[in-house]
Structure 1
Amino acid sequence: MKKKYAQVIVDNKATSTDKLYTYIIKSSMLDMLQEGMRVLVPFGRGNKIVKGIVVSIEEDYDNKYNLKSIIDIIDDKPLIPKDLIELSLWMSKEYLSSYLSAFQVVLPPGNYKEVQTIVSIKDTFKLKHYKLNSLEQKIINLLKIKGNNLKLETIKEYIKNSNINSAIKALEDKGLIETTLEIENLVGKKYEKYVSLENKSISYDDMVNIIGTRCYKQLEIAKYLLSLKGEDISLKELMKKTNSSLSTVKALEDKGIINIYNKEVYRTPIKGNIPKYKRQLLTPKQKKCVDEIMNSIKGKKEDKKFLIHGVTGSGKTEIYLHLVEEMLKFGKESIILVPEIALTPQTIERFVGRFGDNVAVLHSKLSNGERFDQWRKIKEGKVKIAVGARSAVFAPFNNLGLIVIDEEHENTYKSSMNPKYHAIEVAEKRCEQTGACLILGSATPSIESYYKAKNGKFKLLYLDERINSSEMPKVNIIDMRDELNRGNKSIFSKALYKAIDKNLRDNKQTILFLNRRGYSTFVSCRQCGYVVKCNSCDIAMTYHMKDNKLKCHYCGLAINPPNICPVCNSKYIKYFGIGTEKVENYTKKMFPNAVVKRMDMDTTTKKGSYESILKDMQNKKIDILIGTQMVAKGLDFENVTLVGIIAADTSLNLPDFRGPERTFQLITQVAGRAGRGDYEGKVIVQTYTPEHYSIQCAKEHDYISFYNKEILLREEFKYPPFVNIISIIIYGEDQKLVMNRSKEVYKHLLNEAFDINYKDFKKNIIGPYPAPLEKIKKNYRYQILIKCKDDELEDLKRIVEWVCILNKYKLDYQGIKFNIDINPNSIM
């Protein structure tokens, strides 16, 4: 038999070992080993036994190395499917990430090294009818003796045989056993007691003979179980339905009528009382969108990428629901991405309301147990739909037909941790691999996505009307400079105060938006100008009144606010600026009879807090909801008729080229929360720069005019989508060292760029200079920016990899680290 070789990623985080290692596959393993399985391999000079993942199986290798052999196969089936292996390898290259980081996102939630294969007997009745070989019989006997849920590694310890994996597979193919996954030391499976009839074909008369005519309660339970027609029921539910005690049910088990057993139940974040969400009749424009997409899918066209540009309230979600329904008819699976966990409850309600138990949920607020169980339901084919935030794009489906990215413009789709992937780019890649259809949806598409659609990379679909032809809300721009000149120094303009007051009298709800949490944005001395900054980050600290603490929103440091200035000892300490907490306090003071709630990162840390606030809002128990970005998008409350934007200039004043785009998107999205029901909506935008084009275009709900102005500026100043940006942050605790190393890195980048004839390299490799956020978590930060066109990007990435990651020039990088981001969300 011809030898084969496995390419393995070993579990070692050192940069020097971040490569694929080749191992010989023993002949006894050839039939069993597959890509995506974990193996035990000898590693390093001391042949330390480590775990690794097989990413490819080859028939040849580079002869200059002496190879070692794989010791053992850990899994009975792959942990990762082949397409997700390819995706991880692509991400590693695309985002200059380590192999280990790139694979971490597709592996089971938790620590993949602790994942165990659990083996259990599936059908005892079938066992009597199969002739098993000696090894298979040994496994069955061990399961009977040692308990019916044994780890695969435990079976291997008891039965020393190199063919264990093959025997397990054979037993599984016969339907006699089943294997599943669980994470040891982190989340075991959850079990509940269930009740089944010992003999499914028993008659009631036979039961009476066994139980006796005078055991009335036992007979009542027996009769109820017969009415279930062979279905099993949880012990808890049986006792509740028949109003019986545990001792009565156990008496039936003692008489051989029933069997009480442990059944695995999945932990679920989905609450069981979600009402049915009826299928809506599509408007002609919605139907046109669905038909165009489905014709492309049925016509098996290669390019199945769409951007739905639909105004707020135009019914994009109903289009997604119809498309998922069509996928189910084809036996295909669907992934639905939403940008905020705050949106997930509403999206879940609609999808579970329509598709019931066929939906899994994936997001960061789940417990470890919930997350693992949801992942396992997808992996084991128990559901066809996954709804979640960014990381749900890696849901391990085997027959993917559709990926939907709602509110596609949101910056939360870009990861800030390695690998620094963008969910849209990953979704595009997955769709290319699987032939699935990709749908992006937004009322305010990102400049990059709209540019791609205008240039034919996405098919552009329009929804320019709200459902039921309701009007877009009227937007009033209030110049806060005029308010100040008239002596109004309060948080609310006169117009906003009157509008809130009227809304309360009309029993309507109001949303107030401010993209800044906390009470005051900074604390300063009026005598000498000293501002309290974080010692670790050199960034102004925010005052939080509820805790009476100054907090750093970058590293989390919290300190007591000073009573006297530490520089000049004056008592003139003043709190400047406003955050959501201050708006909440002021609103309660102005409207004491109103029910006021706040939704931001400070009020939603507790599990279930999002759902609780949204439910109260839905049930009209809240009059005024105050919040940050999480109230700005996707939320749908029919009784909200007024939206107030407290300070529209926040993102305009940042040193970031995306500032105008973010301002336009936020105003438009927040404004879209108003007037979604049967009542007219009104929006009041407070600003100090009312003449800015992003604010004027948002007033008119005019995306096209905004895009046309913004795209000209992007082209003029060479920003995306006309160029790519590679951001390199060099950081460390020694400022002088960071500065010197940054200069050396810059010099070598220029040399490499010169060697590959990169045009205008001196003009397009910018830096090094202190980053806009110069110090975070005690680390000083210097930045180098590289601008390049699409056809130059791969060459420039290779240069960055040679200089910064592979350290081609053998620079002393001790004491410094790199943060490399391809097309970052922000250049802060």
Structure 2
Amino acid sequence: MIAQVIIDIAAKQTDRIFEYHIPKELPDVKVGSRVVVPFGPRKLQGFVVGISERSNFSGKLRDLLLVVDEMPPLTNELVKLSAELAKEVFSYRITILKAMLPRVMRANYRKILTPITEKAKKMPYFQGDPIDLNEVDDIDNIAFIHKLLKAQDAKIEYIVENKAKTKTENQYMLTKSKKDYLTIYNSLRENATKQKNLLMDIIQNFNFYPKMQKQLEKDAEINTATLTSAVNKNWLKKKRVEVYRNPLAGFEGNTKISKDIKLNDEQQSALKYINSSIENKEAKTYLLEGITGSGKTEVYLHAINQALKDGRNALMLVPEISLTPQMVEQVKGRFGQEVAVLHSGLSEGELYDEWRRIRRGETRVVVGARSAVFAPLKNIGLIVIDEEHESSYKQDSDPRYHARDVALWRSKYNNCPVVLGSATPSLGSRARAQKGVYTLLRLTKRANQKKLPKVKLIDLKHVEFAGGQFDLSVELFNAIKERLAKKEQVILMLNRRGFANFMLCRECGFVLKCPNCDLSLTMHKDTNQMQCHYCGYSEIIPQVCPNCQSNKIRFLGTGTQKIQEELEELLPEARILRMDVDTTRKKGSYKNILDKFGNHEADILLGTQMIAKGLDFPNVTLVGVINADTGLWLPDYNASERTFELLTQVAGRAGRAEKTGEVIIQTYNPDHYAIQLAQSQNYERFYGYEMQVRHAGNYPPYFYTVLISIASKNEQNAAREAFKIKRKLQNNLHTDAIILGPTPSAISKLKNQYYYQILVKYKKEENLNNLLHQIQDSAQEIKKYGLNVYIDNEPERIR
């Protein structure tokens, strides 16, 4: 038999199938298997994407060397998906296949120097651990290694290592009858307390064995020494068994969720449509448009329950699962051990275990962030994408896929419905619903019959400020004080982290910039650092101007750290929690912060956009937006849409239970339509107005778009290549296609690379896909000159 293999090299020359003979010693090779194969002088990992009985190759095929896993990590469905996706997202197939696996399952390659001759084998140099050439950096050692290789005294061997490790623990099994253990117990001396404890546990819980060591030590109040002695006496037999790490350990016992929630008429109507498609195995797409608090989650949970009743499984995506532990808690509370969770906040071991549980068919509901769309779940009966408008569903690095597009493909493959849910659907999804491509389902009232919170706009150009920082208006400050007096809670949002946005010298006008990026450094007072939020560069906060040595320097702009400091000065009695990238770096920190706030251990939750979605706290009666304009004037065609979505979403956090909610939005642009319509939370009017703006500008959803970015350390080289690509596009596309650029990106320098970009807008171009694949392949040739070309189909951001 012949294995068709995609090897682990992302390049034009290797982006094809290589054939290998399957030796009789490897009977377990299947489609989706990870294998180790010889490739030239090296050994590489690869994925089997097909098996055939014969080959068209006239020479002798090389043998597969090794099958890495007992069970193929990829299903047939995912293998087919990788081929389809490679055509659409301009990525090499191996890159997509690797993206479908947890990080820990990606191959680790080592180059080992091995002695050949007897003389070399006796050298002291080779008497210790194997010499890993990736770790050799001493110039004398490098010269010596070259000498050995030239004399053919040594050779380089390539080793493929699998980093994925299973977790094992000790399990203890019984070796005797209950009667025998009773006899042994009676023969022990009185002071053999620990041994008696163990034997009594065995006698009383005979049918509950075998037991894991941790459980046994706890139940019998014994230690490892007692167990070792019991094994030596043949009372027990010990073996290592695989156990799963539990990423949901913190969620157990926290759920107070009723499983018998009755849906209102609108929810019932929406569910009826979705359930019909589940039962009839229809690959239909539903857009569930429901105002904040309208009970979209309950519709999801009831629909998942229907899929499980039908003997099928369910996949649910949320924009960033580590930001929405409440959603995990609800799903876990409803479906218990049948739930698996996949997101980047898990440890590598937890992610590996959850992924294997899914692949082995031990779970039926998968909840996860963007990459969970590749979960190896079989027999899918329902796919849900919550907050479908979120830009985080689009991967902004290779492979540049959109989770929604992958979900739609999997829906067709599995003949199951997709539910896209949002209070503020993306314009593209809403337009498809209007055309009948998607089926629109509406929830127009809150599930608890309460009204939406009253939203007030504050014009920052004409207000008095509390404190000396010009951030909190007196009106917002008084509203916060009023809530604190009533023992109610407040959520405050500012979508900008750090303390100050930039440092300015008032003497010479110098602004402290990142040496790697075309951006000013942000001040982080708590770490005494100026930081770049793009490349991670940092330096100590200067005391004088680095340019003219003047001490007349100012730190301007506002971030969440500065707001926290100001609130602590103005309201010393208030308990404040801050939630941004800086406070949530540690594992579990998101959940810890939200749990504290949910348990009323804090009065104010201050954060960036991560607090705008997925939170449901009944005691929050005030939401304040410190500055609504942070994203409004970005050089991005959908900046208004993003602003409207964010303000509408965060406003929905107020008054979600019995108490009436209020929202105060501070802005310097109170007349802007996105802010005006967010005040009235009128999505339909916003949709109508914004569609007119998009139509006038020839932007999505009226046009398809492709963004081509060219990067180089040399700006002239990037510009030259960009113009070359533009000429190729002009010569091959129709005249009604719009080609904008090349132009420097809005952030023209990132991580020491200068970026130029070309935007193609089109309605129908049959040749474009082939043309872009040619440009992608040509990019391989110019990579050696330090040029990189990136192609982003339907980019979320155009800068």
SS in 1 for 2:526: coil
Q: Is the 8 A contact 1:39 1:70 kept in 2?
A: no
Q: Is the 8 A contact 2:175 2:236 kept in 1?
A: yes
Q: How far off its partner does 1:768 sit?
A: 0.9
**Deviations 1:345-398 (CA, angstroms, capped at 9, x unpaired):** 222211222222222111111111111111111111221122121111111112
- Counterparts in 2 of 1:123-522, with a 5 A limit? 186-198=163-175, 202-203=177-178, 205-212=179-186, 221-222=198-199, 224-225=201-202, 227-228=204-205, 229-246=207-224, 248-249=226-227, 252-253=230-231, 256-271=234-249, 273-276=252-255, 277-279=257-259, 280-300=261-281, 302-483=282-463, 490-522=470-502
Q: Which residue of structure 1 aligns with residue 86 of structure 2?
A: 92
Q: Is the 8 A contact 1:340 1:389 kept in 2?
A: yes
Q: 1:573 aligns with which of 522, 547, 553?
A: 553
SS in 1 for 2:658: coil
- Counterparts in 2 of 1:598-609, with a 5 A limit? 598-609=578-589
Question: Which amino acid in structure 1 is aligned with residue 774 of structure 2?
Answer: W
Distance in 2 of aligned mates of 1:355 and 1:642: 33
SS in 1 for 2:757: strand
Q: How far off its partner does 1:564 sit?
A: 3.5
Distance in 2 of aligned mates of 1:549 and 1:807: 38
Q: 2:769 aligns with which of 785, 797, 800?
A: 797
Q: How far off its partner does 1:765 sit?
A: 1.4
Distance in 1 of aligned mates of 2:535 and 2:26: 50
**Deviations 1:213-245 (CA, angstroms, capped at 9, x unpaired):** 656765664454455434433233233223345
Unpaired stretches in structure 1, ≥5 consecutive residues:
116-182
Q: 1:825 aligns with which of 774, 796, 799?
A: 796
Q: How far off its partner does 1:804 sit?
A: 3.9
Question: Which amino acid in structure 2 is aligned with residue 480 of structure 1?
Answer: L
How many equivalent residue pairs?
A: 741
Q: 2:623 aligns with which of 636, 643, 646?
A: 643
Unpaired stretches in structure 2, ≥5 consecutive residues:
110-159
Q: Which residue of structure 1 aligns with residue 735 of structure 2?
A: 759
2:708 is aligned with 1:737: no
Distance in 2 of aligned mates of 1:259 and 1:797: 63
Q: Is the 8 A contact 1:211 1:255 kept in 2?
A: no
Structure 1 length-normalised TM: 0.85
Distance in 1 of aligned mates of 2:512 and 2:254: 50
2:5 is aligned with 1:8: yes
Distance in 2 of aligned mates of 1:784 and 1:396: 36
Q: Which residue of structure 2 aligns with residue 815 of structure 1?
A: 786
Q: How far off its partner does 1:807 sit?
A: 5.5
Distance in 2 of aligned mates of 1:114 and 1:770: 37
Structure 2 length-normalised TM: 0.88
Q: 1:462 to 1:215 in 2, by over 3 A?
A: farther
- Counterparts in 2 of 1:658-669, with a 5 A limit? 658-669=638-649
Q: Is the 8 A contact 1:91 1:419 kept in 2?
A: no
Q: Which residue of structure 2 aligns with residue 171 of structure 1?
A: none
Q: 1:813 to 1:726 in 2, by over 3 A?
A: farther
Question: Which amino acid in structure 1 is aligned with residue 262 of structure 2?
Answer: L
Question: Which amino acid in structure 2 is aligned with residue 501 of structure 1?
Answer: K
**Deviations 1:781-814 (CA, angstroms, capped at 9, x unpaired):** 111111112x42x521221221342369x76861
Question: Which amino acid in structure 2 is aligned with residue 455 of structure 1?
Answer: K
Q: How far off its partner does 1:295 sit?
A: 1.3
Q: How far off its partner does 1:641 sit?
A: 0.7
Q: Is the 8 A contact 1:664 1:697 kept in 2?
A: yes
**Deviations 1:420-462 (CA, angstroms, capped at 9, x unpaired):** 0001111111111122321111111111111111111221111
Q: How far off its partner does 1:25 sit?
A: 4.9
Q: Is the 8 A contact 2:358 2:375 kept in 1?
A: yes
Which one is further off, 302-311 or 506-515? 302-311
2:76 is aligned with 1:82: yes
SS in 1 for 2:503: strand
Q: 1:559 to 1:488 in 2, by over 3 A?
A: closer
Q: Is the 8 A contact 1:197 1:230 kept in 2?
A: no
Q: How far off its partner does 1:212 sit?
A: 2.3
Distance in 1 of aligned mates of 2:292 and 2:363: 30
Distance in 2 of aligned mates of 1:713 and 1:534: 35
Q: 1:588 to 1:811 in 2, by over 3 A?
A: closer
Q: Which residue of structure 1 aligns with residue 131 of structure 2?
A: none
Distance in 2 of aligned mates of 1:672 and 1:642: 10
2:55 is aligned with 1:55: no
Question: Which amino acid in structure 2 is aligned with residue 780 of structure 1?
Answer: Y
**Deviations 1:500-551 (CA, angstroms, capped at 9, x unpaired):** 0000000011111011001111111234433221121121111111122211
Q: Is the 8 A contact 2:632 2:639 kept in 1?
A: yes
Q: Which residue of structure 1 aligns with residue 744 of structure 2?
A: 770
Distance in 1 of aligned mates of 2:188 and 2:465: 91
**Deviations 1:626-659 (CA, angstroms, capped at 9, x unpaired):** 1001101011111111000011111111111111
Q: Is the 8 A contact 2:287 2:433 kept in 1?
A: yes
- Counterparts in 2 of 1:696-707, with a 5 A limit? 696-707=676-687
Q: How far off its partner does 1:568 sit?
A: 4.7
Question: Which amino acid in structure 2 is aligned with residue 299 of structure 1?
Answer: N
Distance in 2 of aligned mates of 1:656 and 1:811: 29
**Deviations 1:20-51 (CA, angstroms, capped at 9, x unpaired):** 2234556x48965321123343434x5x4433
Q: Is the 8 A contact 1:274 1:352 kept in 2?
A: no
Q: 2:33 aligns with which of 18, 22, 37?
A: 37
Distance in 2 of aligned mates of 1:574 and 1:239: 61
Distance in 2 of aligned mates of 1:487 and 1:509: 21
Q: How far off its partner does 1:736 sit?
A: 1.4
**Deviations 1:75-96 (CA, angstroms, capped at 9, x unpaired):** 5542211100011111111100
SS in 1 for 2:448: helix
SS in 1 for 2:103: coil
Q: 1:538 to 1:244 in 2, by over 3 A?
A: closer
Q: 1:219 to 1:312 in 2, by over 3 A?
A: same
Q: Is the 8 A contact 1:297 1:304 kept in 2?
A: no
Q: Which residue of structure 2 aligns with residue 145 of structure 1?
A: none
Q: Is the 8 A contact 1:544 1:550 kept in 2?
A: yes
Q: How far off its partner does 1:776 sit?
A: 0.6
SS in 2 for 1:642: strand
Distance in 1 of aligned mates of 2:275 and 2:29: 39
Q: How far off its partner does 1:713 sit?
A: 1.2
Question: Which amino acid in structure 2 is aligned with residue 556 of structure 1?
Answer: G
Distance in 1 of aligned mates of 2:642 and 2:769: 28
Distance in 2 of aligned mates of 1:600 and 1:422: 25
Q: 1:10 to 1:340 in 2, by over 3 A?
A: same
Q: Is the 8 A contact 1:342 1:630 kept in 2?
A: no
Distance in 2 of aligned mates of 1:299 and 1:600: 44
Question: Which amino acid in structure 1 is aligned with residue 433 of structure 2?
Answer: A
Q: 1:40 to 1:490 in 2, by over 3 A?
A: closer
